[in-house]
Every structure is written in structure tokens, then in C-alpha cells.
């Protein structure tokens, strides 16, 4: 159900949930009981379900709930340097 914003003459502003078929253009204010008219507001667009939203959600969670680690990550198999038997390669500097 969509959220609708209302504002009365006293300046009170509140939101209410209604089905699209039953939205009143005016209702009683929750704070002062004065008549409140529906106000045009920006739509609440959602990016939920997208990769960007997931990235933002994980970044926000990691700021407040960092993962606890007990040590460095495990090492993979060691890379071996290929051995050459060319005598000209013996003159090259080694890393």
C-alpha cells in the first residue's frame, strides 16, 4: 500500500497508508484533529533487488557490524617459477 502525506492548517504533517482505491483527499489531523489535506510529495522509489542496492546494503552493514577474523586468509597453492635451462637466462637479474 502506498504512503500518503497529509498536512493541516496548523502545520502538523503526518503520513497514512491507504489502498489506491480508497485514498481520502482530506482527513482529521492526528495531532490537533483539524481537517488535513493530502499533500503532493516525491514518490518513494526503491532500488531493492538491484546489484547496486545490495552493494550499498553490504557497505552500510560492514560499517556498523564488521566481520571478525581470527587470522589471515588461508594461502592457496604456492606458485612455482618455471625453470629454464637456457644459459643466456642465467645472466638475467633474479627477482
Residues 6+ apart with CB under 8 A from 36: 6, 7, 8, 12, 14, 26, 27, 28, 29
Distances (CA, A) of 14 to 23, 31, 52: 14, 9, 31
Residue 69 has a pLDDT of 83
> Tens digit of pLDDT for each residue in 31-89?
898 999 999 887 777 767 778 888 888 888 878 777 788 888 888 887 777 788 899 98
State the average pLDDT over residues 9-21: 89
| 3-class secondary structure, 33 | coil
The model's confidence at residue 1, banded by pLDDT at 50, 70 and 90, is low
Residue with cell 503526518: 14
Q: What is the pTM of this model?
A: 0.46
The whole-number pLDDT of residue 91 equals: 87
Amino acid at each position: 500500500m502506498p504512503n500518503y502525506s497529509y498536512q493541516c492548517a496548523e502545520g502538523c504533517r503526518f503520513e497514512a497508508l491507504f489502498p489506491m482505491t480508497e485514498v481520502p483527499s482530506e482527513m482529521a489531523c492526528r495531532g490537533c484533529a483539524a481537517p488535513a489535506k493530502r499533500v503532493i510529495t516525491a514518490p518513494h522509489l526503491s532500488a531493492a533487488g538491484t546489484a547496486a542496492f545490495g552493494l550499498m546494503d553490504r557497505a552500510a552493514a560492514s560499517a556498523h557490524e564488521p566481520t571478525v577474523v581470527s587470522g589471515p586468509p588461508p594461502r592457496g597453492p604456492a606458485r612455482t617459477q618455471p625453470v629454464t635451462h637456457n644459459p643466456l637466462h642465467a645472466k638475467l637479474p633474479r627477482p
